[in-house]
Structure 1
């Protein structure tokens, strides 16, 4: 369940597509993640949460109130929403202006997603995989101490080959379980390793296939920006300029991304190959990688692919690969979880 709070839009936000093309560019935005805790920020009212874990048991979350700062078309943000929706966690959504980012001015961390958790000491959690691992750990653990849980994922700062500071996190794909809980959530060690492997794959490979496919041709780039403008609630004049200038810019950026990630001339082939690789990993002997219910890898892959819905690339993916049955089952089970909470 979510409550949408939409931030302002800016006519010139599409300029950032070229300036920010060094990171993950998906549907017109650049997405990176780094860690930064901040104790100050806007005040939000609290609401109680009684969430279900993957096995259907109720998890008391001690009146935790969650606010997700996001770009709707960001696959990393979509991953977090898929996780929260599947686990029945109520949350507010604040849509961030991709240029001004005034909605996150309270934070020194300037990228999305950001998850703010209250009451008590206000906690800011950054990086989609850290958010998911930390919140899953919090739901499972008997000691509801979110600050302690977040401490399991310490940040590590370093510099890349260009001397730019980057931030990573230890344990970001680990759900921190007590010994007595391990077998309840993972039937064997291989299941845990498998989940981590494919969560990493979604972040390190699958996400890089999105932009080259949705901006593959001028017409697809235009359709993608038409979608962005609709979601961003642009004014008529603003929408016109954002749509046409933004689409042109991202068409050329997508070509550079194709080269950077060594994709085939026909980038659809890489997307199809990735989808079928995932389906093969799930196998025919189970409904989801998590078995009868999705695990965190299922939610990650679904969240990344979902940002293409309504676009030509998504339709082609459903037609030309074996992923549709799995995808539709994911869609249905998340919708069922959301209905159960109403």
Structure 2
């Protein structure tokens, strides 16, 4: 009925425009053909998205109370979150105050992020590499990682380590080039539920200023001269590595895809991220990974 009414409307429009009945029918046929193609394209996109979607996590890992202590913009924390999100593993996050680190008082010897804790049995894991190794082992045991060799191949592990040692080190100097950019980076503190008004104010101003002053030390530590140009050079390395593939992992993202994606997703609210998307060829790949990861499996944030 909808198509008949649409064809009749097209006929009236054609008559007003001086087009004959044959022209109106041709026009209607063209519209219906476009509709058919749109439906086919939608089905193809749905099929592709389904192919890139991993099996849901199950077993012991999904039932454990996982808590990730983090900074929202930390590239190492975001690597972990990207993997948890991709496999639909529920987790809670606790934002650590960068100035006081009071939330890590339970950890006697380790005061960095990320830290992952779990109940039943009690567990504390420090550092993204150790956390991801544990998570992937648990996923495999739960049957949610049927192709572990492909997802966590030596090549995928090599590029995940590359993120830690070569890409992530450029994030900090690039989001702290000025006080304005540092404030962009610290804007997330406004959304941290347990931060007081004073905590938020201190981080937005004192924390942002401290980041600007520390930028030079970070550049010196890693022998960085031009942080923007060198970061873009690293991103070109990744772009060349992915090449014409949908993902580094082929038809589905692997650990390398999620590691690079997580690193970049963490600074999504900054002008640095906007420039990366605008001035590199990574945006199509980034959007494919974003679609494959889907919505966050984070269940709470404190």
Q: Fold conserved (TM > 0.5)?
A: yes
Offset of residue 293 of structure 1: 1.3
SS in structure 2 of the partner of residue 291 of structure 1? coil
Deviation at 1:74, TM superposition (A): 1.5
Partner of 1:130: 130
Q: Distance in 2 between matches of 1:253 and 1:102?
A: 21
Kindly state the Cα deviation for residue 320 of structure 1 after the two structures are TM-superposed.
Answer: 1.0
Aligned residue pairs total 244
Quick one: distance in 2 between partners of 1:68 and 1:224?
A: 20
| In 2: Cα distance, 1:65 partner to 1:237 partner | 30
Asked whether the 8 Å contact 1:115–1:125 carries over to 2, the reply is yes
More strand by share: 1
Find the aligned partners of 1:187 and 1:238 in 2 and give their Cα distance: 44
CA offset at residue 118 of structure 1?
2.5
Q: Which has the higher helix share?
A: 2
Q: TM-score, normalised by structure 1?
A: 0.63
* Cross-structure match for 1:261: 222
Q: 1:300 to 1:186 in 2, by over 3 A?
A: same
Q: Does 1:243 align with 2:244?
A: no
* Alignment-derived partner of residue 90 in structure 2: 90
Deviation at 1:84? 0.7
User: Which moved further from structure 2: 244-253 or 195-204?
Assistant: 244-253
Unaligned 5+ runs, structure 2: 1-51
Q: Which has the larger radius of gyration?
A: 2
Structure 1 unaligned regions, length at least 5: 1-52, 145-176
Aligned to 2:10: none
Q: What do the CA deviations read for 1:201-222 (whole angstroms, capped 9, x no partner)?
A: 0000111101111111333233
1:169 maps to which residue? none
- In the TM superposition, residue 276 of structure 1 has moved relative to its aligned partner by 1.6
Tell me the equivalent position of 2:14: none
Deviation at 1:54, TM superposition (A): 6.8
Q: TM-score, normalised by structure 2?
A: 0.71
The Cα RMSD (Å) is: 2.9
1:105 match = 105
Q: Deviations over 1:122-172 (max 9, x none)?
A: 12222111111111111112699xxxxxxxxxxxxxxxxxxxxxxxxxxxx
SS at 1:67 equivalent: strand
Task: Indicate the structure whose relative CO is greater, using CA pairs within 8 Å and at least 6 residues apart.
Answer: 2
Whole-Å separation in 2 of the counterparts to 1:202 and 1:257: 17
CA distance in 2 between counterparts of 1:192 and 1:232 reads 36
CA shift, 1:69, in A, is 1.8
Query: Which of 144, 148, 151 is 1:185 aligned to?
Result: 148
CA separation of 1:332/1:238 partners in 2, compared to 1, >3 Å: closer, same or farther?
A: same
Q: Which residue of 2 aligns with 1:117?
A: 118
Counterpart CA distance in 1 for 2:238 and 2:286 is 11
2 CA distance for matches of 1:136 and 1:222?
35
